[in-house]
Amino acid sequence: MTEATERFFESLPARAPAILCGLADGALQIDLSTGQQTEQWMVRMQPGTVRISRERGPADAIWSCDAALFDRLITGEAQGIAAVLRNESTFSGNVVLFLAFRRFFPNPPGTRDPREVARKAAGRPA
């Protein structure tokens, strides 16, 4: 596992209040594989909070992903939904948890909010 992955998971509790405002309530197990080795992360989400652990246990959803792909997700170079649709990763269980978790990933580099673009075009401050 990379240092970037460790830092990403460590940052989640501080970022949760701004990101988890909705219906996410449950445990998401994330399995990151490198060759024959798999590392688990348990992400327990509730509105406004998240708890991270490395334990295995009952989960409402399981997301399996290659560790290299996960590194691309945490840098915005790849998108979680696209990875699942292309069968580069697999998901089972409560899809709301996956949809909520993907909000922790950054936007692709160079992405701009279309509302900001429209405000600038209209001459209003962003």
Q: For the chain, which residues make up each domain, given as ranges?
A: 3-121
| Distance from the first to the final alpha carbon of the chain | 39
The number of angstroms, rounded, from the C-alpha of 14 to the middle of its chain's C-alpha atoms is 14
pLDDT per residue as tens digits for the range 23-82: 789 999 999 999 999 999 999 999 999 999 998 889 999 999 999 999 999 999 999 999
Position 121 scores a pLDDT of 84
Position 98 scores a pLDDT of 95
Q: Domain 3-121 sits in which CATH superfamily?
A: SCP2 sterol-binding domain (3.30.1050.10)
> Cα–Cα distance between 88 and 20 in angstroms, integer?
25
pTM of this structure:
0.84
